[in-house]
Structure 1
Amino acid sequence: MRYINLDQLELPDGWQVRADAAIADEPGKIKDHSDVWRDLKRPLMKLSHDKCYYCEIVQERSDGAVDHFRPKSKYPWSAFSPSNYRFACTFCNSVRSDKESEKTGGKEKNFPSMMRISGQLAVQMRQMRVQFFWTRASQTNPAL
């Protein structure tokens, strides 16, 4: 995954007014306002240098899509929040089906993976702790 500073996302004129109107509509009509998030496709592409947020491949022939990082079906309040948008290629933003087991999946089926997130966080914290202790030890004992 790429790091994208969404604070630098340039919203088109009048976009926030349209997003606020969509938010005011009932949650069951989220898809009726898909033009609101689609209007951010070009600015998101520009911000991500035309690369998919997930696979990091430059999108030369893909239509690309505005992906809702937090699925709008589970987090409807974030459907019109620019901080929830990512530019994604068509492949990464699609639901998958296993032909043998007939199971369907994709990001939405596994979001949020708190176990995965907490596991990654624990690993990062261990790495930081080791680096901290190594730095302190080498400062006090230059021979290290």
Structure 2
Amino acid sequence: MRYIDLDEVEIDLPGNRQAQVDAAWVYVDRKMDESEAKVRAEGAKKNWSAAEITEKVNRARISARKAAISAKNNLWSDLSDLLAEQSSGKCWYCESKELRSDNPIDHFRPKGKVVECSEHPGYWWLAFEWSNYRYSCTYCNSRRVEAESAGGKHDHFPLFTPPDWNKSETDNNAEKPMLLDPTKANDCKLLTFNQNGEACPNESDSTSDNYKRVKKSIELYHLNHKNTTRARKQIHQEIRQLVASTNELLDAGLDPRSLAIETNIKNLLRKIRATCKSTQFNTAARLYLSQFDSHQWVKDILDLR
């Protein structure tokens, strides 16, 4: 997981973004009002009681709101390229380039419902809020039901409670999300990777909130999917071999500016640099390389930005 600075996203938002959002909410409100009018007309014709009308109106407005928000999904899908630029096209959660999705945008606070809170209507009021969007691959975002590949964030949003979830736009609870957020720098530091390519907590106290957050994030973001873990393990292997090769060349008295050594260093830089478009899992690669920082030349690489 790599830190994403939302200030950088905001700078590049389209100039007409707010106008588009305002127009979308006008559309949503209109569809809800139309739905209510239709129910009331039917209720008058069928002599429904006031309680029946109120119940049916509430259900109709909620249904109309969901449909209208979905109809305006371009307000998040149109930002996918902009969000992708922040991570060189890699998933914000796992740093994979295997997005496998035409609409790789996750609503961090889910817009339609919250699995962990059955009475929650979803954070519908954040549906068009760009700062709630996360660029995500299918494995991290989609619900998975197969036993061998359980995971996927989907509509999950677990909290440490109390306080409770904010269930309306007027609620102001200081929510304590369990899931790690790539837009929070401190969250990204809580996750590390072992030599087997597995994501794991960066601390050992299994009773701490930070430990629990990492474990829940690994589960719901699907961070230890078999293919992902294997790819990280291969990166660790390649880094170990490149470091060993470079040390052998240096010990043999080869000039550090030789083609062989410079090629090794270039390959290591590609693996650890988040801005490199041809590599993935760069945070894991940097952590793996840092295991060899007793060598000054490795320290020098890690210091490069």
TM-score of the aligned structures, taking structure 1 as reference length: 0.68
Matches within 5 A, 1:1-144: 1-9=1-9, 10-24=12-26, 25-26=28-29, 27-28=65-66, 29-59=68-98, 63=102, 65-73=104-112, 74-98=122-146, 106-114=152-160, 117=178, 119-120=209-210
Contact 2:110 2:156 in 1 (8 A): no
SS of aligned partner of 1:8: helix
SS of aligned partner of 2:111: coil
Contact 1:6 1:82 in 2 (8 A): no
Aligned length: 120
Contact 2:91 2:99 in 1 (8 A): no
* RMSD over equivalenced CA pairs, Å: 3.0
Deviations 1:28-73 (A, max 9, x none): 2110100111110000000122110111113476545111111111
Contact 1:53 1:86 in 2 (8 A): yes
Alignment partners' CA distance in 2, 1:4 and 1:86: 9
The aligned residue for residue 127 of structure 1 is none
Alignment partners' CA distance in 1, 2:156 and 2:96: 22
Alignment partners' CA distance in 2, 1:20 and 1:105: 35
Alignment partners' CA distance in 2, 1:30 and 1:83: 17
Q: Which has the larger radius of gyration?
A: 2
Give the AA of the match of 1:56. E
- Change in Cα spacing, 1:60 to 1:106, as seen in structure 2 (3 Å) is closer
Larger RCO: 1 or 2 (CA < 8 Å, sep 6+): 1
TM superposition shift of 1:93: 2.0
- Stretch of structure 1 that moved more, 24-33 or 113-122: 113-122
- Change in Cα spacing, 1:52 to 1:112, as seen in structure 2 (3 Å) is same
- Change in Cα spacing, 1:64 to 1:98, as seen in structure 2 (3 Å) is same
SS of aligned partner of 1:106: coil
Deviations 1:83-122 (A, max 9, x none): 101111122221111359xxx8632453133267381289
TM superposition shift of 1:5: 1.0
TM-score of the aligned structures, taking structure 2 as reference length: 0.35
Alignment partners' CA distance in 2, 1:86 and 1:59: 15
SS of aligned partner of 1:114: coil
Alignment partners' CA distance in 2, 1:89 and 1:60: 4
Kindly, what percent of the aligned residue pairs are identical? 44
Alignment partners' CA distance in 2, 1:33 and 1:51: 25
SS of aligned partner of 2:140: coil
TM superposition shift of 1:81: 0.6
Alignment partners' CA distance in 2, 1:89 and 1:112: 20
Give the AA of the match of 2:156. N
Alignment partners' CA distance in 2, 1:108 and 1:91: 10
- Change in Cα spacing, 1:86 to 1:8, as seen in structure 2 (3 Å) is same
- Change in Cα spacing, 1:18 to 1:119, as seen in structure 2 (3 Å) is same
